Structure 1
Amino acid sequence: MWKQTLLGALMLCALGQAAAQQAAAPPPQYDSVLASSLGADERGMRPYVFVILKTGPSKMPEGAERTKMFQGHFSNMARLAAEKKLVMAGPLDGVDGRRGIFIFATPDIDEAKKMVATDPVIVNGEMVAEYHKLYGSAALMMVNDVHNKIRKK
């Protein structure tokens, strides 16, 4: 029994030393130039508009027009991303009609609505948009640059 108690005490001591070393570690290096370029506040955060794309009232039937509409949808996203307005986009699983998301680099929902209004899936009623304010890491502004370095196609 004394061996188990001693072992437990040694483990607690080792854990305490590890925690102390971790607490004494220097904080991450702050890069004010990078923070400023990303629009970060003192917490490294910034405001965005988060958009949920949901199934709309006018599903376009399969065929050339639908293909053209979705090509326009992807081209529109690429344009907005190149302009540093669209921070992130992606499909969802379709549960409850939720089909995709956009995250825009603006705190203004009206500005995000203007950008979404340029998308052919919205124009054609294939999808409708739901808007929410989001406060998140300014590092999201780097997602598209990193993505372009890791994609093969």
Structure 2
Amino acid sequence: MNRIAACALALLCALGAHAQEAPATYDAAKAQAWGANDQGMRSYTFVLLKTGPKRMPDGPERDAMFKGHFANIQRLAKEGLLVYAGPLDGVDGWRGLFIFASADQDLVRKAVDTDPVVVNGEMVAELHRHYGSAALVGVNDQHNRLIKPKP
């Protein structure tokens, strides 16, 4: 297992282990809204984005492709389907990851296939089932509270 895989696995395990600690206060409404089972867990789809067969040359078209990639991420997050996205360092061709709030891999594949980096062959997506803390569903809301407003 390479370092990136080990780090991603450690992060996901840490989130899962934390979710198994006894909660200070049980929030039944949030558990239901986030699809949590009795252990506070739920199913997701983990998507690993890898370097694809067609690197787009530097320039305006590449810039537009990545602008579309980030817009697609925001759209899927606002829809509540994408709960986490982030880049990786590119070692071993691993470029980024998504975690979708759905175990339906056909649905996730259709969503991933709308991303300009996938459409253009810059990246390819590898889908995996993942079982983790239902609290991941709340990441986008919490993240938005951390973005400092522009003056």
Per the alignment, do residues 29 and 117 of structure 1 end up closer, same or farther by CA in structure 2, a change over 3 Å counting? same
- Provide the rounded CA distance (Å) in 1 between the counterparts of 2:25 and 2:87: 35
- Provide the rounded CA distance (Å) in 1 between the counterparts of 2:37 and 2:48: 25
Match of 1:37 in 2: 33
Match of 1:117 in 2: 113
- Provide the rounded CA distance (Å) in 2 between the counterparts of 1:137 and 1:73: 26
- Provide the rounded CA distance (Å) in 2 between the counterparts of 1:60 and 1:106: 30
Larger Rg: 1
Per the alignment, do residues 27 and 134 of structure 1 end up closer, same or farther by CA in structure 2, a change over 3 Å counting? closer
The structure 2 residue matched to 1:145, chosen from 138, 141, 147, is 141
* Deviation by residue 1:122-152 (Cα, 9 ceiling, x = unmatched): 0000000001000000000010000001012
* Residues 93-108 of structure 1 aligned to structure 2 (within 5 Å): 93-108=89-104
- Provide the rounded CA distance (Å) in 1 between the counterparts of 2:148 and 2:125: 30
Q: Number of paired residues?
A: 128
Cα shift at 1:27? 5.9
- Provide the rounded CA distance (Å) in 1 between the counterparts of 2:73 and 2:114: 10
Match of 1:54 in 2: 50
- Provide the rounded CA distance (Å) in 1 between the counterparts of 2:50 and 2:27: 38
* Deviation by residue 1:16-74 (Cα, 9 ceiling, x = unmatched): xxxxxxxxxx9622111110011101110000000000000000000000000000000
Q: TM-score, normalised by structure 2?
A: 0.82
Farther off after superposition, 138-147 or 26-35? 26-35
Structure 1 spans left out of the alignment, 5+ residues = 1-25
Q: Which amino acid aligns with 2:46?
A: F
**Larger relative helix fraction:** 1
Q: TM-score, normalised by structure 1?
A: 0.81
Structure 2 spans left out of the alignment, 5+ residues = 1-21
- Provide the rounded CA distance (Å) in 2 between the counterparts of 1:109 and 1:81: 17
Cα RMSD after superposing both structures:
1.2
Cα shift at 1:110? 1.2
- Provide the rounded CA distance (Å) in 2 between the counterparts of 1:28 and 1:86: 27
Identical amino acids, percent of aligned pairs = 61
